[in-house]
Chains A and B, each alone.
Chain A
Amino acid sequence: VTRLEATRLLVSALGSDQTTPIVASLGHPAYDLFAAGDRPANFYTWGSMGLASSIGLGLAMARPDRRVVVLDGDGSLLMNLGSLATIGWTRPKNLILVVWDNQSYATTGGQDTATAHGADLAATASGMGIRHSVTVRSELELKDAFTRALTQDGPWTIVARVDESPPSTKPPLDCVFIKNRFMAALA
Chain B
Amino acid sequence: VTWAAGVCAGFAAAGITHVVYVPDNPLSHVLSALKAYPGIKTTLATREEEAFGIAAGLYLGGVQPAVMLQSSGLGNSLNAITSLIVPYQVPMLILISMRGDAGEWNSAQVPMGRAVRPILDSMGIPHTTVDSAAAVAATVELVARTAFDTRLSGACLLPRRLTAPRVVEEARP
Contacts and interface: CB of A to CB of B under 8 A. Distances in A.
Contact of A51 (B20, B49, B58): B49
Contacts of A63: 61-62
Interface residues of B, number: 32
Interface in A38-97: 43, 45-63, 80, 82-83, 85-86, 89-90
A59 B18 CA distance: 12
B45 interface: yes
B60 A175 contact: no
B3 interface: no
Given A58-B65, A85-B46, A48 B84 contact: yes
A55 B83 contact: no
A50 to B, nearest CB: 7
A54 B89 contact: no
Interface string B44-73: 111101101111111111110100000000
B62 A176 contact: no
Given A48-B83, A90-B43, A176 B50 contact: no
With most chain B CB atoms within 10 A of its CB, the pick from A50, A61, A187 is: A61
Contacts of A47: 79, 82-84, 87
A38 B54 CA distance: 24
Range class of the A interface residue count: 35 or more
Nearest to A54: B53
B110 to A, nearest CB: 27
With most chain B CB atoms within 10 A of its CB, the pick from A48, A52, A175 is: A48
Contacts of A57: 53-54, 57
Contact of B57 (A59, A175, A178): A59
A82 B20 CA distance: 14
B45 to A, nearest CB: 6
B105 interface: no
Contact of A186 (B58, B61, B82): B61
A182 B80 CA distance: 19
4 smallest CB-CB distances across A and B, nearest first, come from A58-B57, A47-B83, A62-B61, A54-B53
Given A61-B58, A62-B58, A182-B60, A86 B79 contact: no
Contacts of B55: 58
